[in-house]
Chain A
Amino acid sequence: MKHNEILKAALSEIAKDEGQKTGAIKLLDAFGNAAGLMLAANPAFAVVKGLLGLAKTVSAALKNTSDIDKINLDDLFVETVDEKLKKRGIDDDKIKRILEA
């Protein structure tokens, strides 16, 4: 099944009033299984490895509801890409200079 078809099926599942979580988990498991099969066929396919990793991450997050109460919201804030790059000494001016060189 192509990704767009999987996504469409998943969105249909998630849009239902009941079983939203079940639908999401089914989708992610399907992605994980598909990625696993592709990975076995072509271990060098980096995109599939990324896909498999994401499927596991998201699927685990959806399934692991027991510790939700313990989540500290302050730990969920993120840094912008610019902030991350700044820590590496890279800013927009540097990127602009490279692009214009």
Chain B
Amino acid sequence: MKKTMATAWIFLFPALLFMVSACATTNKAKQGAMISQQIYEEVSNTVVEQITEIVKAADAGTITSVQRKTLADLSEFKKILNKYAEAHNTYITALKIAETSSTKTNDVGKQARELAIMSSQIIDYCDKLGIKLP
């Protein structure tokens, strides 16, 4: 599961670079936002499913030490994902403004760059947790 998440972010990083470089064009920015949403949903849903499974095991009294350690890692990782979701939503808001006002395109570019930086931090975080690519 962790490897899948790391792989997902490896996909997201170039996608975000694509989005940053393309942000001047609204259609391409939309495309980047769509990719960001799709990959975020893939990763976040995986995290939610895994946390739910471990919480159920805890409720049933069958949680293992490995699951407890995984839950601790997921709990930290979800903080970053929460921040990413907020940054993504801010990007969408900026994009909505850009659609109605050509003077606001800098906001879109700024937010896209923040997303790209954040995805880089997430890759670093995966490395710190020992999440290796297959």
Interface residues of A (CB under 8 A from B): 3-4, 7, 10-11, 14-15, 20-21, 24, 27-28, 31, 45-48, 50-51, 53-55, 57-58, 61-62, 65, 68-69, 71, 73-74, 76-82, 84-85, 88, 90, 92, 94-95, 98-99, 101
When A and B form their complex, what is the total count of cross-chain residue pairs whose Cβ atoms lie within 8 Å?
138
Interface string of B79-119 (1 = CB under 8 A from A): 00110011011001001100100000000000000000000
Q: Which chain B residues (62-82) contact chain A, with CB distance < 8 Å?
A: 63, 68, 71-72, 75, 78, 81-82
Q: A81-B85, A99-B72 are in contact. Are A3 and B51 (CB under 8 A)?
A: no
Q: Which residue of A lies closest to B91 (CB)?
A: A76
**Docked-complex contact B4 and A80, CB < 8 angstroms:** no
Q: Which residues of A contact B125 (CB under 8 A)?
A: none
Q: Which residues of B contact A15 (CB under 8 A)?
A: 17, 21
B interface size (C-beta, 8 A) = 52
Q: A21-B18, A95-B71 are in contact. Are A79 and B51 (CB under 8 A)?
A: no
| Cα A74 to Cα B96 with chains together (Å) | 8
Q: A51-B4, A68-B31, A80-B86 are in contact. Are A98 and B81 (CB under 8 A)?
A: no
For the A-B complex with A14-B21, A77-B89, A101-B58 known, give 4 more contacts whose Cβ atoms are closer than 8 Å.
A68-B30, A76-B30, A76-B34, A77-B88
Q: Which listed residue, B7, B30, B68, touches A50 by the CB 8 Å rule?
A: B7
- What is the minimal beta-carbon distance from A92 to any residue of chain B, in angstroms? 8
